[in-house]
């Protein structure tokens, strides 16, 4: 069970104020914010009554060196100088402190660094023991799992008990990630820990604190005002990745975003392009930055391999199709699989080189990103009148009526896009529900007819229709009207059906034309087609397959590639067995009844029959 940060603070306060003769441990993933929490919450809370020493064990190659530096820090802090930073113990630090307590003492400690390694030294012992008379000093040992391989973790834990806790009365808070303790030490570490550590406090993220400290306390207006949405992006990523989020990475992301935000604001001071969509643009750039910076900080994305994600740059299509089951996923695909299940992120995500430069060089081209964003989210076909809708509150009734009339005219233009029609429907529904529709025309009939025309045009041009899952996000008024929503979806679904039929016909043509590039394009697009039914219903059955000079070999090769070699092809072609059987019958009849076909044709048709029967057997299992 994980503790809230407030509960953990209370538990640690109780510990440092108790007579507990053992250490306690804060256990959590690396980068989860343990050190941040200690330095910014715990230390300020307890340092008023206790001297606090922070000490990281990272970077020491021997236990003797570590002991020497630690005792040095404890000795310095005993004179009232808090040591809550990770700086190494230095002899010059001793000079400034000992000068304060008198030259006579300094004379005795001219060779302090040697003496500090010997904890039995009388003066050091006396000085460190004397602190307990006031209130127990506190020692924070950080980065336990990052200790050198030359130092046994169990030896360090034992030293803390016998030399620090029992001898000097320190309250010791050990900070680390037990899961990352080396395999060859874990058993010994666990046995020693049971003797030294009285309580282990599991540490996890407190997203309320993250929102307050990292976003609302950032001083950046966008991060503050949109903190709820932004934290949900971070939290959803953590939930999908085993509750892992690295706060050091988050700090890097927010620092980089501050650079980007400044550039965007400066651009909009003298340019209006994209300014009306400022919120959505900043959400898109944050989502882009969050993904790229996280991959960079994890060491998976480097300046040298950036070209591997070129496929996802400046596009909203993130679909990948494999020609083989065991084909290794590209870096671009791995990124989309890892992050794009988050609905909030998926709705705004795009990738642009300007963000890559911000991550790797600290330089951001605002104009380039805005231009790319507009091309993807507000294509050129978008009527300028749609941009004016955002300012309808500043218009007179007459001005709004003229705008509505212009929108109705624009939506009937032949080059209107599906997105623009949907936006117009959404706007007019809002106007109507708000008693702000001034025209006399039946706008819904006009707009739905325009939607049909736009869908039909997209089908004929073999362009994407529309992701119906986006309606709820982009067109909230449509989404709340069940009747209109159904009518809109029916039109989109009819377009999908028509497009599927057209593409299936084109695929069969590509097979018999041996057009490999077109076949590959359809495969990568995710087209799931029943080519057997299409062949049976088309004139190509007689003109291309069951004829002299048959192209059975081309169909046979395609079936081997897409049906036989793909082990789970059955999952994508359910309900096709009857059509396969019918095609087998047609081919058999042709072979038996056509005595004048050549030997090569007969050979190719028999091979096709063999393949069809193999597919039927595979699908019937």
Rounded distance between C-alpha atoms, residue 188 and residue 182, angstroms: 11
Q: Which CATH architecture has domain 5-204?
A: 3-Layer(aba) Sandwich (3.40)
Mean pLDDT over 20-40 rounds to 83
Model pLDDT for residues 502-545, shown as the tens digit of each residue:
888 989 999 999 998 888 888 777 778 899 999 999 999 999 99
- Tell me the Ramachandran region of residue 325: left when phi exceeds 0, alpha when psi lies from -120 to 50, beta otherwise: alpha
Instruction: Give the model's pLDDT for residue 323.
Output: 37
Please state, as a whole number, how many other Cβ atoms lie within 10 Å of the Cβ of residue 248.
14
Instruction: Give the model's pLDDT for residue 237.
Output: 84
64 by DSSP, 3-state: which?
Answer: helix
Model pLDDT for residues 364-409, shown as the tens digit of each residue:
999 999 999 998 887 654 446 887 786 788 889 999 999 999 999 9
- By the 8 A CB rule, do 545 and 532 touch? no
- By the 8 A CB rule, do 153 and 177 touch? no
CA 77 to each of CA 66, 68, 97, 348: distance values in angstroms, whole numbers, following the listed order: 17, 14, 9, 51
Instruction: Give the model's pLDDT for residue 106.
Output: 39
DSSP string, 153-198: HHHHHHHIIIIIIHHH--EEEEEE-GGGS-TTTHHHHHHHHHHHEE
Average pLDDT of every residue of the chain: 83
More confident residue, 4 or 270: 270
Q: Is pLDDT of 101 > 60?
A: no
* Residue 88 DSSP label: P
Q: Is pLDDT of 243 > 70?
A: no
Instruction: Give the model's pLDDT for residue 384.
Output: 60
Going by CATH, does the domain composed of 384-499 fall within 3.30.70? no
320 by DSSP, 3-state: which?
Answer: coil
In 177-301, beta strands by DSSP E:
197-202
Q: Is pLDDT of 454 > 60?
A: yes
Among 186-195, 286-295, 561-570, top mean pLDDT goes to 286-295
* Residue 533 DSSP label: H
Instruction: Give the model's pLDDT for residue 290.
Output: 96
Sketch the domain layout of the chain as residue ranges.
5-204, 209-377, 384-499, 530-620
CB-based burial, 83-101: b 16+ in 10 Å, e otherwise: bbeeeebeeebbeebbeee
Instruction: Give the model's pLDDT for residue 242.
Output: 64
Residue with tokens 């088309």: 538
Q: Which residues pair with 141 in a beta bridge?
A: 55, 174
Q: Over pLDDT 90: what percentage of the chain?
A: 37
CA 538 to each of CA 303, 505, 518, 534, 544: distance values in angstroms, whole numbers, following the listed order: 51, 8, 19, 6, 10
CA 592 to each of CA 163, 545, 547, 596, 605: distance values in angstroms, whole numbers, following the listed order: 96, 15, 13, 10, 11
Q: Is pLDDT of 256 > 90?
A: yes
- By the 8 A CB rule, do 492 and 455 touch? yes
Same CATH fold assignment for domains 5-204 and 384-499? no
Instruction: Give the model's pLDDT for residue 134.
Output: 61
| Tokens read off for 330 | 């590209």
CA 344 to each of CA 228, 256, 303: distance values in angstroms, whole numbers, following the listed order: 12, 21, 28
141 by DSSP, 3-state: which?
Answer: strand
Rounded distance between C-alpha atoms, residue 255 and residue 259, angstroms: 7
In 530-584, beta strands by DSSP E:
none
More confident residue, 139 or 77: 139
- By the 8 A CB rule, do 214 and 227 touch? no
Instruction: Give the model's pLDDT for residue 114.
Output: 47
Find, among 350, 345, 584, 360, the residue nearest to 473 by Cα. 345
Instruction: Give the model's pLDDT for residue 35.
Output: 81
- By the 8 A CB rule, do 182 and 149 touch? yes
Among 108-117, 240-249, 284-293, top mean pLDDT goes to 284-293
Q: For residue 121, name the pLDDT band (cuts at 50, 70, 90).
A: low
DSSP string, 374-397: HHHHS-TTS-HHHHHGGGGGGS-H
State phi, psi for 316 to the nearest 5 degrees: -115, 10
């Amino acid at each position: 069970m994980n503790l809230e940060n407030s509960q953990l603070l209370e538990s640690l306060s109780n510990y440092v104020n108790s007579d507990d003769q053992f250490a306690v441990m804060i256990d959590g993933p690396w980068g989860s914010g343990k050190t941040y929490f200690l330095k910014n919450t715990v230390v300020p809370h307890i340092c008023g009554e206790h001297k606090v020493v922070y000490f990281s064990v990272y970077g020491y190659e021997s236990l003797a060196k570590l002991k020497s530096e630690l005792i040095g820090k404890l000795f310095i802090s005993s004179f009232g100088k808090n040591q809550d930073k990770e700086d190494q113990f230095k002899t010059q630090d001793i000079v400034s402190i000992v000068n304060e307590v008198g030259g006579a003492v300094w004379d005795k400690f001219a060779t302090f660094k040697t003496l500090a390694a010997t904890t039995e030294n009388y003066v050091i012992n006396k000085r460190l023991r004397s602190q307990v008379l006031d209130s127990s000093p506190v020692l924070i040992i950080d980065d336990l799992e990052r200790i050198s391989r030359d130092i046994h973790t169990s030896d360090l834990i034992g030293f803390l008990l016998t030399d620090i806790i029992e001898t000097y009365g320190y309250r010791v808070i050990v900070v680390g990630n037990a899961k990352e303790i080396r395999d060859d030490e874990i058993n010994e570490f666990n046995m020693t820990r049971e003797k030294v550590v009285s309580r282990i406090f599991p540490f996890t993220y407190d997203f309320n604190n993250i929102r307050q400290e990292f976003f609302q306390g950032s001083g950046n207006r966008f991060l503050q005002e949109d903190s709820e949405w932004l934290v949900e992006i971070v939290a959803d990523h953590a939930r999908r990745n085993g509750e892992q989020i690295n706060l050091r990475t988050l700090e890097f992301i927010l620092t980089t975003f501050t650079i980007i935000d400044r550039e965007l604001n400066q651009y909009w001071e003298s340019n209006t392009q994209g300014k009306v969509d400022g919120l959505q643009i900043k959400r898109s750039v944050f989502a882009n930055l969050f993904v790229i910076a996280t991959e960079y900080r994890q060491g998976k994305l480097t300046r040298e391999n950036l070209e591997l994600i070129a496929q996802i740059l400046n596009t909203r299509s993130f679909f990948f199709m494999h020609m083989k089951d065991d084909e290794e996923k590209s870096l671009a695909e791995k990124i989309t699989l890892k992050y794009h299940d988050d609905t909030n992120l998926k709705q705004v995500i795009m990738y642009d080189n300007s963000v890559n430069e911000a991550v790797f060089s600290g330089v951001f081209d605002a104009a380039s990103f805005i231009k790319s964003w507009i091309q993807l989210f507000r294509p050129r076909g978008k009527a300028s009148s749609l941009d004016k809708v955002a300012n309808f509150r500043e218009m007179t009734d007459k001005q709004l009526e003229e705008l509505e009339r212009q929108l109705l005219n624009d939506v009937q233009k032949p080059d209107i896009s599906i997105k623009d029609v949907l936006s117009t429907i959404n706007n007019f529904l809002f106007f109507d529900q708000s008693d702000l529709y001034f025209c006399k025309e039946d706008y819904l009939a006009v707009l739905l007819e325009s939607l049909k025309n736009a869908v039909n045009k997209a089908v004929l041009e073999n362009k994407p229709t529309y992701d119906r899952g986006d309606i709820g996000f982009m067109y909230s008024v449509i989404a709340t009207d069940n009747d209109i929503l159904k009518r809109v979806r029916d039109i989109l679904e009819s377009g999908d059906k028509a497009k599927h039929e057209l593409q299936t016909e084109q695929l069969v043509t590509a097979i018999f034309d041996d057009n490999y590039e077109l076949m590959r394009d359809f495969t990568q697009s995710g087209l799931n087609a029943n080519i057997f039914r299409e062949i049976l219903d088309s004139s190509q059955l007689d003109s291309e397959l069951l004829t002299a000079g048959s192209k059975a070999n081309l169909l046979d090769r395609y079936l081997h590639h897409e049906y036989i070699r793909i082990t789970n092809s059955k999952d994508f072609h359910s309900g096709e067995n009857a059509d396969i059987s019918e095609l087998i019958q047609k081919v058999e009849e042709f072979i038996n009844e056509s005595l004048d076909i050549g030997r090569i044709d007969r050979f190719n048709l028999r091979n096709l029959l063999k393949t069809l029967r193999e597919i039927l057997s595979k699908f019937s299992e």
